[in-house]
Amino acid sequence: MMERFTGAFTQQEPIPEAGIAAALAVMGHGRLHRYNTAPGEIAEAALLEEEFAAFTGARYCLAVASGGYAMGCALRACGVQQGEPVLSNAFTLAPVPGAIAAAGGHPVLVEVTEDLVLDLDDLVLKAKASGARLLLLSHMRGHVCDMDRLMAICGDLGVTVIEDCAHTMGAEWRGVPSGRHGLIGCYSTQTYKHMNSGEGGLLVTDDAEMAARMILLSGSYMLYGRHRAAPGEEVFRRLRLEVPNVSGRMDNLRAAVLRPQIGMLAERRDRWATLYRGMEAGLAATPGLRLIPRPEEERYMGSSFQFLLPGWEAARVNALVARCAARGVEMKWFGAPEPVAFTSRYEHWAYAKPQPCPQTDRVLAGLIDMRLPLTFSPEDVALIARIIRAEVLAVGQAETVENVAAPLAD
């Protein structure tokens, strides 16, 4: 009898008891809006911002409605103009180019390497050719490029970096928290990220004007004085009548759920690392399968796992995904001709007017992705790896596509 995995790839851990209690307290008094406070009360959203700023070492923090809104808010704060070129990864998820397009910019897609990070040589070429002054850098699926070299390149070219840290909250490069290299760091607290409020986002920066612009953009009206991780009154007075209101505040209910989770990030990172390393060990030296190397400088959040199937034709990749699914292992293929659920690739984003990225095409043609929720145990991961390894060997050794697609035997 073939082994089968019966767990759920989409089941997250429960909200911590402290978060549940805090959320019940907010629901009990009914003051969910961040600016609706009783005399002497500090809003949960304001406390979340203060505590997340301290966690990242940033001077300023803003809590917003989603990670996508966070990126759009950062772009608008930087003054993106209609049709302005904005550099970004060719390999990312749709909300990244979506944020650029929604802010009026035009995504300029930069190739990615087989290690799933931005190709810094192509970045130089695309930056010079486009004249772009902004890079929305996606640390896609938690893979961080050489941030020292990237920041040196962008400094030389006069390119401002905004970091999309949806997959790297709690990660570090040479000890520097993800989101703290660029001008602005953007984070997500969507259910499948590293802190869970269903939807939500956070922005951090050390720049007082950027912080004030983002707070005003988020819909503070003239209540910006109620923010704690924020610049002084004098900065707002210069900007308050010129910055449009694009409301996207986080409410106190979600902030209450999130606050206890900040202190859990380091422990969660360690637990994810155990699962990630277990998957690496289980798939090591599998013929036809390439693991993604992790640089020593990177301390990563291993909440998802990727591997490559170099040179595999589409029919064979499809067969592998189907055979693993039949044994309970859910994998996503970034080379699929049509977008599936959260998975799409740059040629699907018609609004971004995609440009050819042949190197990225080669990478995505064999890229497999799966979630590693903390509800998995090391034993679960070992079983999943055994199933994948067995099916890679079976499909890889098949002589024809017809053999590959044959029904599974018990």
Q: What is the pLDDT of residues 136-164, one digit of tens each?
A: 999 999 999 999 999 999 999 999 999 99
Say if residue 210 is in the same domain as residue 311. no
- Residue 116 counted as domain residue: yes
Q: Tell me the pTM.
A: 0.95
- Residue 252 counted as domain residue: yes
- Residue 74 counted as domain residue: yes
- Residue 167 counted as domain residue: yes
pLDDT at 408 over 80: no
pLDDT at 303 over 90: yes
How much is the pLDDT for 67?
Answer: 98
Say if residue 252 is in the same domain as residue 276. no
Backbone φ and ψ for 135, nearest 5 degrees, come out as: -125, 120
DSSP code of residue 64: E
Average pLDDT over residues 325-352: 92
Pairwise CA distance, residues 128 & 106, whole Å = 15
Pairwise CA distance, residues 373 & 355, whole Å = 34
Average pLDDT over residues 93-105: 96
How much is the pLDDT for 83?
Answer: 96
Average pLDDT over residues 234-260: 97
Say if residue 106 is in the same domain as residue 73. yes
pLDDT at 403 over 50: no
Average pLDDT over residues 231-239: 97
- Residue showing tokens 């040589």: 121
How much is the pLDDT for 76?
Answer: 98
Neighbours of 139 (CB within 10 A): 29
Band of residue 397 on the pLDDT scale cut at 50, 70, 90: low
Structure tokens at 357: 């990225």
Domain endpoint, select from 236, 262, 288 = 262
Domain limits at 188?
17-262
Say if residue 165 is in the same domain as residue 40. yes
Domain endpoint, select from 262, 279, 310 = 262
Structure tokens at 99: 């944020």
- Tell me whether strands 106-110 and 85-89 are parallel, antiparallel or unpaired: parallel
Average pLDDT over residues 298-307: 98
How much is the pLDDT for 401?
Answer: 43
Give the total number of structural domains in the chain.
Answer: 2
Say if residue 82 is in the same domain as residue 222. yes
pLDDT at 134 over 70: yes
Q: Which residues contact 351 (CB under 8 A, 6 or more apart)?
A: 97, 98, 101
- Residue 5 counted as domain residue: no
pLDDT at 170 over 80: yes
Domain endpoint, select from 230, 262, 294 = 262
Average pLDDT score over the chain: 95
Angle among Cα 129, 135, 136 to the nearest 5 degrees reads 140
**Helix H or strand E encompassing 163:** strand 160-164
Say if residue 327 is in the same domain as residue 398. yes
- Residue 3 counted as domain residue: no
pLDDT at 110 over 70: yes
How much is the pLDDT for 97?
Answer: 96
Say if residue 205 is in the same domain as residue 353. no
- Residue 379 counted as domain residue: yes
Average pLDDT over residues 375-388: 98
Say if residue 23 is in the same domain as residue 133. yes
Say if residue 51 is in the same domain as residue 173. yes
Pairwise CA distance, residues 30 & 65, whole Å = 19
Put residue 4 in one of left, alpha, beta given phi > 0 → left and psi -120 to 50 → alpha. Answer: beta
Say if residue 283 is in the same domain as residue 160. no
Say if residue 226 is in the same domain as residue 281. no
Do 1 and 410 meet the contact criterion of CB atoms below 8 Å apart?
yes
Pairwise CA distance, residues 147 & 140, whole Å = 14
One-letter identity of residue 205: T
- Residue showing tokens 């640390």: 139
CATH code of 211's domain? 3.40.640.10
- Residue 6 counted as domain residue: no
How much is the pLDDT for 398?
Answer: 58
CATH code of 367's domain? 3.90.1150.10
How much is the pLDDT for 224?
Answer: 97
Say if residue 274 is in the same domain as residue 257. no
Average pLDDT over residues 94-117: 97
